A and B are shown apart, each in its own frame.
Chain A
Amino acid sequence: MFETVIGLEVHAQLQTQSKMFCGCATEFGSPANTRTCPVCLGLPGALPVVNQRAVEMAIRTGLALHCTVQSTNQFARKNYFYPDLPKGYQISQYDRPICENGWLELQANGTSKKVRIRRAHLEEDAGKNIHADAGSLVDLNRAGTPLIEIVTEPDMHSAEEVVSYLKSLRDVLMYIGVCDGNMEQGSLRCEPNLSLRPVGSDALGTKVELKNINSFKFVKDAIEYEIKRQTKVLSEGGTIHQETRLWDIERNQTAVMRSKEEAHDYRYFPDPDLVPLVIAEEWIEELRATIQELPKDRHQRFLRDYGLPDYDAGVLTSSRALADYFEACVTLFAEPKLISNFLMSEFLRELHQAGMTVESSPVSPERLVGLLQLVHDDTISLKVAKEIFPELFAGDKSAAQLVEEKGLRQLSDEGELLALIDAVIEQHPAQVAQYRGGKETVIGFLVGQAMKRSGGKANPQKVNALFKTRLAP
């Protein structure tokens, strides 16, 4: 019997405007080799200068992941040759990463656990290789884009745990606005390293690094495949080689990329072109203040402060914009559950259909709350509110205006309702007799008739209650 041990390296692209060490733009999708300069092309004599915003994003990432931020930082050169690396080295950090010793919580098998984060460091991305028949082609637009590499301790034991960790990490990075979290475009890349050991053993087995994984599904598939493969090799008395394996999407299997022994001799040394980066305590505290509440904390607060069900809190805190919108509504109108229900159904549906985001919603919290207040004070039914919401969404009228114009005001006046009820009683003596004879379900029919007579405007709860009093023996 074997136990699986998994650690994870995640590379997240920091959402800066310009590159890590030069002013070239970082945006995705420009024509090949139109976002380069002497610095990121590695031309002789060009000197790198650190992007302050990238440093701030790295610090905020570290704080969000409960890390210690290193006061003195040094950039190092990681030396290797590859066509997408024009300088012959990657500027990275080695023995003094900017952030160390943090943790992040994951949820798996119905419980939560902390995964220790060993380090998070700043580095620059490489360019992109395209393999063609005539040779390999290189686009250096991405070369020099700032990355933060986040490395865990080998604390995970299943694909489920890794996927959960990765989702939490992605949530955090997106929430604090340092990464767009797009795995398909490569803004978030994950490289699990995986080994097996006999159950009960403390020693780590030989690990295999997995690459080419650009979706949550592939993370799960690749890890599950690799667990099976290694279990088979070890069960048959074989040995695992330390190597990097690529996930082959077509064949649904991992295949060896290269052997590691030689490749890992990077000869790191401090980059003499870059002066030390000293991070003062005040700077850290300034940045700590800019970190918004993290999704998990906000989720807990929504349960506690608004008495929402776990499901609601989860949906509402899944994006910062939606959570902000909800809280703006609650501030105006203290009916959290009514608001939550409406946001999760009608509101999100209309946004989705219009291809819009919460940020660009044409309905402000004020107008939405205006509608729900009409429901709350029985001016209109919830059903009517749902019916007119698309119009509220598409136009700029207030809910009260729409209700007035369309004559949708709910009939709640007791005198008017009683007149309606008496008319129904007179018209359906047979059903009334049945009700009086003990067949209570007939009341549904009678209420239905009264609703019909009112053109759907009568308040159904009130009609129901009034029927019961009227027909009481």
Chain B
Amino acid sequence: MNQVEHVANLARLQLSREELERLSTQLSRILAYMEELNAVDTAGIPGTTSVVAGDANVLREDEVQPSLSQDQALRNAPDAVDGLFQVPQIISDR
């Protein structure tokens, strides 16, 4: 339950008590299933990190392509000022 709360917080999800309880049960079941998978011996088999057909090294040349216009870039923004996205006040910098 604590763990679910922590992950929800990391994902910026606000969960009600009822949702927390329901998700805790569900996640426990999912993790138990993963435990079953863990039983398979995967020593010496590299992890699959991508399902894009067997490739490596998809690279592009260092060439500039046209960007979106400022208007287009800001089109989805709830608020914008002087060409900048406007968001609620950030208290401290990273």
Contact = CB atoms under 8 A, between A and B. Distances in A.
A37 B60 contact: no
8 contacts: A36-B68, A50-B59, A132-B81, A138-B84, A138-B86, A257-B92, A271-B49, A278-B56
B51 A272 contact: yes
A23 B55 contact: no
B4 interface: no
Interface string A122-163: 000010011110111111100000000000000000000000
A357 interface: no
B70 A257 contact: no
A275 B57 contact: yes
Interface stretch (A76-84, A455-463, A465-473): A76-84
A140 B85 contact: yes
B49 A17 contact: no
Contacts of B85: 33, 83, 137-140
A81 B86 contact: no
B56 to A, nearest CB: 4
B50 A32 contact: no
B69 to A, nearest CB: 7
Interface class of chain A by DSSP: loop
Interface of A: 16-18, 22-25, 31-38, 41, 43, 49-55, 74, 79, 81-83, 126, 129-132, 134-140, 211-212, 246, 257-258, 265, 267, 270-278
Interface in B61-76: 61-70, 73-74, 76
A18 B63 contact: yes
A275 B64 contact: no
B55 A52 contact: no
Nearest to B9: A262
A34 B10 CA distance: 31
Nearest to B51: A272
Contacts of B10: 79, 265, 267
A23 B82 CA distance: 24
A309 to B, nearest CB: 41
A378 B42 CA distance: 81
